[in-house]
């Protein structure tokens, strides 16, 4: 029997509910045949990483790397050099963590490993100095690594530059999902709305960690305007994060505590999509916006920031772009206009556009075994 090829994923953490990167990686991991490809992990956060027991139960190893900011750049580089000397089994190193990516993939390259950089983000709003310091740190990725992956062209241009996304080394990797999980279910919708006491309500939903990027402050302002026009409106907020307490305070100060529901992290977000009437997503920036994929599969109208990548539009008639320069009232009007939209499933459209995880996993598996396989779309 042929031994599986060993691939090393470099991550910031394996915390469930932390963000889209972890969800994407776990979806890929759980659908790749471990007889052919063995994926192990290096993580940098040690705060009770919830996915670690899952991957260890499936036979994967998890290594704890030190924090570069705590031990310094030189010591961090030495750790990686020692790691690759001690672990020659990893033929491919797939970097999902942007921080210090140029460093750890460069060291992997020095040890003769095939290297993949993977961009999951685009257009972060950085201060002037930090912006150019980061660009300088990431610049070597353009020519140093073997392959450049990204969840959208925007995400690729951000990390590698516009010229690199035109090269054969660039591959578009959709943030694919198990589409059948998210299909619309009228019976489930009725059950969930009854369970949440939302039967006669106009339900606005949002899924995302409480972080500046997700723009919760503005989202709540939009909902305030929605509620002015429709007192039957309710807002469901899913996720956790460092800004959650601030948003809870904002909701209370606006007198919305009775109509905004903080749902936390749930294991079955697909059930809650059924209960919603519209999905609101005013992010400052995204690599793609994976939850928008899930919402569209479930037939939900989506109102989101105009600057998000075009690849997210799986079902154009469900997609409503609004500029972040427009007022909360204008956002509210677009959102309110989606009331009564007929819900049907769009799993087929998602699969046709490459967002079915079983197919993506098969193609990635083939790529790891033979990177010369030309399987991923060059143009999106």
Total domain count, the chain: 2
- 341 shares a domain with 237: yes
At residue 378 the predicted structure's pLDDT band, cuts being 50, 70 and 90, is very low
Does 360 reside within a domain? Answer: yes
Does 62 reside within a domain? Answer: yes
- 85 shares a domain with 216: no
- 217 shares a domain with 145: no
Is the distance from CB of 286 to CB of 308 less than 8 angstroms? Answer: yes
The pLDDT tens digits of the residues spanning 102-113 come to 999 999 999 999
- The dihedral region occupied by 123, where left means phi > 0, alpha psi between -120 and 50, and beta the remainder, is left
Is the distance from CB of 13 to CB of 47 less than 8 angstroms? Answer: yes
- 150 shares a domain with 11: yes
Does 376 reside within a domain? Answer: no
- How far is 121 from 154, CA to CA, in rounded Å? 8
At residue 51 the predicted structure's pLDDT band, cuts being 50, 70 and 90, is confident
- 211 shares a domain with 70: no
CB-based burial of residue 151 (10 Å sphere; 0-12 exposed, 13-18 middle, 19+ buried)? buried
Question: Containing domain of residue 295, as a range?
Answer: 179-352
**Nearest one of 266, 267, 265, 310 to 287, comparing CA atoms:** 310
What is the domain-level CATH number for residue 60?
3.40.50.2000
Mean pLDDT over 186-208 rounds to 97
Does 379 reside within a domain? Answer: no
Does 79 reside within a domain? Answer: yes
* Three-class DSSP category at 234: strand
**Nearest one of 365, 235, 344 to 300, comparing CA atoms:** 344
pLDDT for residue 379: 42
- 289 shares a domain with 272: yes
Higher-confidence residue: 199 or 14?
A: 199
Mean pLDDT over 102-126 rounds to 88
Does 22 reside within a domain? Answer: yes
- 194 shares a domain with 145: no
Does 217 reside within a domain? Answer: yes
The tokens for 204 are: 């606005």
- 157 shares a domain with 219: no
Higher-confidence residue: 130 or 321?
A: 321
- How far is 318 from 302, CA to CA, in rounded Å? 6
- How far is 378 from 380, CA to CA, in rounded Å? 7
How many other C-beta atoms can be found within 10 angstroms of the C-beta atom of residue 354?
19
pLDDT for residue 46: 67
Is the distance from CB of 367 to CB of 230 less than 8 angstroms? Answer: no
pLDDT for residue 315: 96
- 149 shares a domain with 105: yes
Hunting for tokens 């990483």 — which residue is that? 49
Please check the confidence at residue 39 and state whether its pLDDT lies above 90: yes
Q: Rounded to an integer, what is the distance from CA 85 to the centroid of its chain?
A: 32
pTM of the model: 0.86
- 16 shares a domain with 124: yes
- 122 shares a domain with 240: no
Q: Is the dihedral of CA 284, 287, 292, 294 positive or negative?
A: negative
pLDDT for residue 9: 97
Mean pLDDT over 292-312 rounds to 95
The pLDDT tens digits of the residues spanning 1-29 come to 578 999 999 998 876 655 578 888 888 99
- 36 shares a domain with 151: yes
Please check the confidence at residue 377 and state whether its pLDDT lies above 60: no
- How far is 98 from 123, CA to CA, in rounded Å? 13
């Amino acid at each position: 029997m042929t031994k599986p090829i060993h691939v090393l994923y470099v991550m910031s953490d394996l915390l469930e509910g932390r963000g889209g990167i972890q969800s994407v990686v776990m979806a890929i991991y759980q659908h790749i045949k471990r007889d052919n490809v063995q994926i192990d992990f290096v993580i940098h956060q040690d705060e009770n990483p919830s996915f670690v027991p899952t991957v260890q139960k499936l036979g994967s190893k998890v290594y704890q790397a030190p924090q570069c900011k705590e031990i310094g750049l030189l010591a961090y580089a030495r750790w990686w050099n020692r790691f690759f000397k001690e672990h020659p089994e990893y033929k491919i190193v797939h970097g999902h963590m942007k921080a210090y990516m140029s460093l750890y993939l460069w060291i992997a390259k020095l040890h003769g490993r095939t290297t993949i950089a993977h961009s999951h983000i685009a257009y972060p709003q950085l201060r002037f100095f930090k912006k150019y310091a980061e660009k300088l740190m990431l610049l070597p990725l353009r020519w140093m690594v073997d392959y450049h992956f990204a969840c959208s062209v925007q995400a690729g241009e951000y990390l590698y530059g516009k010229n690199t996304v035109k090269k054969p080394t660039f591959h578009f990797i959709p943030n694919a999902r198990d589409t059948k999980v998210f299909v619309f279910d009228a019976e489930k919708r009725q059950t969930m709305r009854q369970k949440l006491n939302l039967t006669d309500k106009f339900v606005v939903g949002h899924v995302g960690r409480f972080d500046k990027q997700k723009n919760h402050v503005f989202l709540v302002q939009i909902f305030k305007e929605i509620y002015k026009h429709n007192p039957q409106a309710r807002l469901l907020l899913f996720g956790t994060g460092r800004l959650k307490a601030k948003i809870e305070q904002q909701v209370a100060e606006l007198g919305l505590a009775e109509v905004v529901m903080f749902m936390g992290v749930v294991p079955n977000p697909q059930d809650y999509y059924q209960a919603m009437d519209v999905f609101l997503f005013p992010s400052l920036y995204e690599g793609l916006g994976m939850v928008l994929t899930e919402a569209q599969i479930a037939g939900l109208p989506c109102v989101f920031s105009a600057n998000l990548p075009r690849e997210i539009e799986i079902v154009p008639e469900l997609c409503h772009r609004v500029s972040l320069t427009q007022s909360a009232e204008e956002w509210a009007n677009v959102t309110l206009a989606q009331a009564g939209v007929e819900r049907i499933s769009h799993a087929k459209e998602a699969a046709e556009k490459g967002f079915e995880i079983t197919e993506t996993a098969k193609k990635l598996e083939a790529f790891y075994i033979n990177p010369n396989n030309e399987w991923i779309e060059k143009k999106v």
